[in-house]
Chains A and B, each alone.
Chain A
Amino acid sequence: EVQLVESGGGVVRPGGSLRLSCAASGFKFDDYGMSWVRQAPGKGLEWVAGINWNSGGTGYADSVKGRFTISRDNAKNSLYLQMNSLRAEDTALYHCARGGGYNHLDYWGQGTLVTVSS
């Protein structure tokens, strides 16, 4: 069974940083691209960033480019999102999702909540 478990969310002040983690299990992690998808309260889904299976290719939404960095550690079956220069509009539930590069999104974790507030 595919499992994706996010952690690292919390409350942070504007301009601050946070690092999200996603622990993957139930599939061969290094066979798949991975992504982060977020959902602000009461809003729709927004794809944030993606990385291919060997970290050879990454992509970012315009809203986070230059501030967020996606990375992965295939030895640890883990995905990460380093978030810097956080803004109030980054407040959202952040989901780890299987899919990225040449793979469509097919599984999502339950998410970790990030709140940016002074």
Chain B
Amino acid sequence: DIQMTQSPSTLSASVGDRVTITCRASQSISSWLAWCQQKPGKAPKLLIYKASSLESGVPSRFSGSGSGTEFTLTISSLQPDDFATYYCQQYNSYPWTFGQGTKVEIK
């Protein structure tokens, strides 16, 4: 099975900061990677698919990059609505797997 490892697990940042979250796959997944955002008590929301494609309706301050085994999610200027937990997820092959999550907290 493909293991997904995110870092950091927790991130403290201020409004306006540039934030980067890293996701590593235990083997190559090409570009079959998605990023989602989850707020407490809510269903996850897709942000990025195929490593760098922005889902419709998602603000352009979110961007994704990478391929193979190394991926990043970047928020160019953190907004109050962005404090949440972020997950990467590979869909290269079954069983699909999520990273353990990165909680973005207010500094």
Task: List chain A positions with a Cβ less than 8 A from chain B.
Answer: 35, 37, 44-47, 50, 59-62, 95, 99, 104-111
Main secondary structure of the interface of B (DSSP, over half): loop
Contact B101 A105 (CB under 8 A): no
A62 and B95 alpha carbons, distance in the complex (Å): 8
Expressed in whole angstroms, the Cα–Cα distance for A104 and B32 within the complex equals 8
Q: In the complex, A44→B1 CA distance in Å? A: 18
Contact flag A105-B36 (CB < 8 Å), given A59-B96, A62-B95:
yes
Known: A45-B87, A105-B89. 20 other contacts (CB 8 A): A44-B85, A44-B87, A44-B100, A44-B101, A45-B36, A45-B44, A50-B96, A60-B94, A60-B95, A61-B95, A62-B95, A95-B44, A104-B32, A104-B49, A104-B91, A105-B44, A105-B46, A106-B46, A106-B49, A108-B45
Our pick among B55, B98, B101 for the contact of A47 (Cβ within 8 Å) is: B98
B residues sitting closer than 8 Å to A (CB atoms) are: 1, 32, 34, 36, 38, 43-46, 49-50, 55, 85, 87, 89, 91, 94-101
* A46, A50, A104, most chain B CB atoms within 10 A: A104
Query: In the bound complex, what is the Cα–Cα distance between A24 and B99 (angstroms)?
Result: 27
